[in-house]
Structure 1
Amino acid sequence: MNDAIEFVYTSKEVSVSVGIATSTLRTWCLKLEANGYILKRSDDGKRMFFERDITALRMMKELLDKKHPIEYAVDQITSRFNVMTHSVANNDAVTTVEKTPFLERFPNAIELNEFVNQIRTAVKEEVHQEVATALEEQNKRFDEHIDRRDRQIMEVLRELQEDRKKKWWKKLF
């Protein structure tokens, strides 16, 4: 069993890596899939490419660059890459990546998923509480600022009224 983590690549990354347009990649993928080559897809239906897929597409590009017909290239790729075991047939040996179900490789995956969901819920609640506390503190500061401003305005108004009273008395005497 191969415990190495495989990276998943997007169509854009693969097209840049192989040196072809994304529309060409899409066409090649359709032809390969029609001939039995399995490309894995994400939950939303997008193709997911692994290293073996990139290797296959590079070989296909080499064959097409040598002016072979696309049907020939597709047949060569599907015959070289054993779809059932995801192995790559080399001239000297066959390197096999053993396929095992996810739950066999990670028996505690369901429990781990539940634990992760519990952590997410706890974090959301904590963030919500912190935001609510921060908003309350901000409202307090605003209220204090408004009270201070109101007191200052009242002081200025009183001073103005006193000045008017003094001027009125001064006019009389």
Structure 2
Amino acid sequence: MNEFGIFSKEVATSLDIPTSNLRKWSLLLEESGYVFERNEKNQRIYYNRDVNALSQMKIFMEKNRNIEDAVKVVIKRVQDKKSADETLSVIRDSDSEITLEKSDLKEIMQMAIKTALVEQKNEFTSLFKEYQQMAAVAQEEKKLPDSNDNWVARMKLEHKFRGKTKN
């Protein structure tokens, strides 16, 4: 669909409804406060948002809802979307400065500190386990006499240590 808008015949065709139904639905929506843009000849120009609203009406009526209920639901959804868009616009237009309550800031800082402490504890625990394994290997090496005959035994012990650090 084109961003410049389309006329009723194209909308009716895309929704697979007669142009008379489109006119009736459009009038009912307008009576409930919906605004369609019009050209200099006072013809309605339909945009994506309008076609979406009309498509929703069609879906509601296909589900055995009467046209008045369908109009109410569509108007409510359009108003909700408009309200959400306005809120988002205000947020975007406001300063990028964020203000926090003292209690919120305290909670954020406590969470950050707790996370940092947990990370440091995990790192310390990992390093301590590695140190214990190295100390055990060193202790085993002290028990072995330093000769060429025990070279194979030292290699096995070193291999054992490396295997533990990979797990």
TM-score (norm 1): 0.46
TM-score (norm 2): 0.47
Higher helix share: 2
